Amino acid sequence: MRFLVVDDSPTMRRIVINALKTFGYSDFVEAGDGQEALGKLAAEPIDFVITDWNMPVMNGLDLTKTIRSTPNLSHLPILMVTTRGLKQDIIEALKAKVNNYIVKPFTPQVLKEKIDAVLSTVKS
Amino acid sequence: MKKNLKEMLDKANELRALFIFGQRVIPFLEEIFIFVSEIEPLLEEINISIAENLKKMPSATKQLSKVTEATELATTEIMDILDNLTFKTDVISRNLNHLRQIKDHQIAVSTRLLEILHKGIQANENLNDYLPEISKVMTMIKENEAVQFDKTISETNSILESINMDSSSIMMSLQVQDITSQQLAAVNHLIETVQEKLMKIIERFDKTNIENLIKKSEIDSNINVSKLHRDIAFDPDAVKTIEEKSGMQSSVDELIKMHKAELNKEEQPIHTLQEDIDKLVSLDITEIENQNIDFDTLQKQLEAEEQEQTAEKTQNIVQGNNVQPVDENLENFDLDNLDEPFSQDDIDALFGKK
């Protein structure tokens, strides 16, 4: 399974990828913002998107909306990992059709739990 | 009379001089009046700007203070974990030594026993004589060393598990870097805003031809706060997630769970048994008799409709439309207090825990 990890913070990308490695995943693609992520999505097959919300150029919410409105990408599971934890934010994310949502800082266990939850929903 | 006329002429001269002075002063006074009328709104603007910026400064100070606090907290957490790690690695090293000692002892005892047996067999001695020694070694291995071995292995395993937990905690603490960088970007943005406002005031001064009062070039070269080492999009409340880290994710999970529950409710098959019954009940018995409605046919029709809906649903999943629509369900949520922070539990409630 190939993950696309989108975050403007290299530290956060590394943290997420390290956690994914401990879960047994080994295929990762990185992007620093939404626009770069779209470029990666167009260039290679991706199975799962983990994205931050606050990013320069194109934020995670716009990235989600773009993915959902692109026919060959709309099915992609998207997990939002962000510092934004207001009710309004969650509702906005749900409207953009993210599959799940994690508030930073998170533990690797929470990340695994959410990835598994998203994958089980998508498979079923 | 002559004296009075002279006095009058002197006064008239004084008055003339006064008028001449007045004529010369009036344009100057006019200039002062224009300058004051120009500068007055500008000064008012400066006052407002200073007041506004002064209001923002405590929030910037507070944000910076929170960054320091969060960084200190994360550093302390990491240092505590590292201290414990040193202790844990010492225990693991001691356990490994212990295991090596057990193994060495077992090898030594087994070798000695085998040597005795070897000699005995070679000398055609009665091996029964060695039975007490053999059982002694077996008891030692089974009851003492095997127990110690298992105990040491189990202790080492739990230490390794706790080291795994420690690495999770370190990973969590390191996320502070991202959170604090957003906080600092927010302060940076605030400083940029203040800078912009000051620049606007300076531009206004330029227009009023009193630019000599302010050396704009010096300000331009000395203030450079607009760029960080990279562009950072920020959430000014990012640090709140550290303060409320225990509860935030749970509130978020709760919200997502609620949302999933709503979706599941919607996904129920339209033709429930009760609905089927209601459909039949709604028909007049005479109508049924007259139209010769076959219950089996009706049942088949209902099943066919249900299959059609299931097929449509499957088609949606195949086409990648399995991401459930949320807009309608969101209407059912409490849309008050949208500024409330949400925990991961609330999010899970909305998206479904599993």
The answer to whether domain A2-119 has CATH 3.40.50.880 is: no
In chain A, pLDDT over 90 holds for what percent of residues? Answer: 78
Find tokens 């693991």 and name the residue. B92
Q: Which residue in chain A has the smallest CA separation from B333?
A: A91
CB contact under 8 A, A103 and B241: yes
| pLDDT value at B180 more than 50 | yes
Nearest CB to B344; choose among A88, A91, A103: A103
Which DSSP string corresponds to B216-244? HHHHHHH---S--SS-----TTTTHHHHT
The CATH code that applies to domain B14-222 is 1.10.287.500
CB contact under 8 A, B338 and A88: yes
| pLDDT value at B209 more than 50 | yes
Q: What is the mean pLDDT of chain B?
A: 72
Structure tokens at B283: 């028909």
CB contact under 8 A, A109 and B337: no
In chain B, pLDDT over 70 holds for what percent of residues? Answer: 64
In chain B, which ranges are continuous DSSP H helix? Answer: 2-122, 131-139, 146-174, 176-207, 216-222, 240-243, 245-267, 273-282, 285-291, 295-318, 327-330, 344-351
pLDDT of residue B279: 42
More confident residue, B28 or B233: B28
| pLDDT value at B39 more than 80 | no
Q: Which residue in chain B has the smallest CA separation from A117?
A: B354
pLDDT of residue B285: 37
CB contact under 8 A, A54 and B235: yes
Q: What's the gap in Å between the CA of A67 and the closest CA on chain B?
A: 11
pLDDT of residue B299: 46
pLDDT of residue B305: 55
CB contact under 8 A, B343 and A91: no
pLDDT of residue B298: 40
The pLDDT tens digits of the residues spanning B102-124 come to: 888 888 888 888 888 888 888 88
CB contact under 8 A, A106 and B249: yes
Distances (CA, A) of A1 to A23, B206, B341: 12, 62, 33
Read off the pLDDT band of B284 (50, 70, 90): very low
Range A87-103 average pLDDT: 91
Lowest-confidence region among A58-67, B10-19, B139-148, B341-350: B341-350
CB contact under 8 A, B178 and A116: no
| pLDDT value at B40 more than 70 | yes
- Candidates A21, A15, A115; CA nearest to B169 is A15
pLDDT of residue B272: 35
pLDDT of residue B243: 66
In chain B, pLDDT over 90 holds for what percent of residues? Answer: 8
Range A43-72 average pLDDT: 95
| pLDDT value at A75 more than 90 | yes
Torsion angle (degrees, nearest 10) of CA B226, B229, B232, B237: -80
Would you list the domain boundaries of chain A?
2-119
Residues in CB range of A52: below 8 A, 6 or more apart = A6, A7, A8, A9, A12, A60, A80, A81, A82
| pLDDT value at B64 more than 70 | yes
Lowest-confidence region among B70-79, B288-297, B323-332: B288-297
Q: What's the gap in Å between the CA of A100 and the closest CA on chain B?
A: 6
Range B246-270 average pLDDT: 70
Nearest CB to A104; choose among B241, B327, B337: B241
Residues of B in contact with A95 (CB under 8 A): 326-327, 330
Would you list the domain boundaries of chain B?
14-222, 244-351
Residues of A in contact with B339 (CB under 8 A): 86-88
